[in-house]
């Protein structure tokens, strides 16, 4: 059974810092990996999707990398801003397991002005 | 930009009652999903739906749960005989291709069972 873990569970940084959020998964047979942002009491906003054949994806100040063989992905946020404060979730879709997503527990990020 | 919408935003019901949660997926999408998130826990998959039938379901999706696409736009989740442990945020999602594409999530319906 696929297990997805995110470390750290919570992170507090001053504005302007570059930071890295980590996601690990136990079964490397994934089809793709998706990073989401979740604001308190709100839905999930898709940030980046990385296919299993890709190494990284970039969108603005966000860069996500994928090392499928080692079961890891990182989300790099450059020049963090208070508006980046949210919970960041990663989710993987397995090969040959339909298209359900298996989620990690999230990293709660606080960027202080 | 197209988005997934869900109604109601908050539903309160008594234990044992039936509830219907409604979703309008993105219009050209073909695959539909329900997930739930119990407060403080991970987002969990419930069911996927394609071509008017269930593609996959988790062990959470027991015989009290059902899904339906009653018309060309709505996608519903019905929970019969609700239990206290059904209290959670329920998210609808959609995608336009099998597996390869981004799943887009709605804002969620918070279900509270008293």
pLDDT in tens, B45-58: 999 998 889 989 99
Alpha-carbon gap: A18 to the closest alpha carbon of chain B (Å): 26
Which of B100, B102, B110 is closest, CB to CB, to A46?
B102
pLDDT in tens, A42-82: 889 999 999 999 999 999 999 999 999 999 999 999 999 99
Give me the torsion for CA of B93, B97, B99, B101, rounded to 10°. Answer: -70
For residue A48 the two structure tokens come to 């980046």
CA distances from A89 to A5, A47, A76, B87 (A): 10, 10, 13, 21
CB-based contact B48 A100, cutoff 8 Å? yes
pLDDT at residue B6 tops 70: yes
pLDDT at residue B99 tops 60: no
Mean pLDDT over B74-80 rounds to 97
Q: How many Å separate Cα B85 from the centre of its chain?
A: 16
CA closest to A93 among chain B residues: B99
Alpha-carbon gap: B57 to the closest alpha carbon of chain A (Å): 9
pLDDT at A41: 81
pLDDT at residue A97 tops 70: no
pLDDT at B98: 64
């Amino acid at each position: 059974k696929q297990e997805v873990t995110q470390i750290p569970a919570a992170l507090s940084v001053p504005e302007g810092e570059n930071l890295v959020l980590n996601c690990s998964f136990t079964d490397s047979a994934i089809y793709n990996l998706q990073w989401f942002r979740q604001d308190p009491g709100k839905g999930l906003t898709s940030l980046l999707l990385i296919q299993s054949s890709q190494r990284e994806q970039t969108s603005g100040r966000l860069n996500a990398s994928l090392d499928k063989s080692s079961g890891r992905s990182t989300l790099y946020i450059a020049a963090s801003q208070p508006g980046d404060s949210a919970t960041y979730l990663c989710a993987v879709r397995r090969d040959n397991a339909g298209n359900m997503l298996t989620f990690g527990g999230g990293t709660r990020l606080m960027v202080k002005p | 930009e197209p988005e997934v919408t869900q109604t109601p935003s908050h539903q309160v019901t008594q234990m044992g009652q039936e509830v219907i949660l409604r979703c309008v997926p993105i219009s050209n999408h073909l695959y539909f999903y329900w997930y739930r998130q119990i407060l403080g826990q991970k987002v969990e998959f419930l069911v996927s739906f394609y071509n008017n039938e269930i593609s996959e379901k988790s062990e959470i999706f027991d015989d009290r749960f059902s899904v339906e696409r009653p018309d060309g736009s709505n996608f519903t989740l019905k929970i019969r005989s609700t239990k206290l442990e059904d209290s959670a945020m329920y998210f609808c999602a959609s995608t336009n291709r099998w597996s390869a594409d981004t799943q887009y999530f709605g804002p969620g319906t918070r279900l509270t069972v008293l």
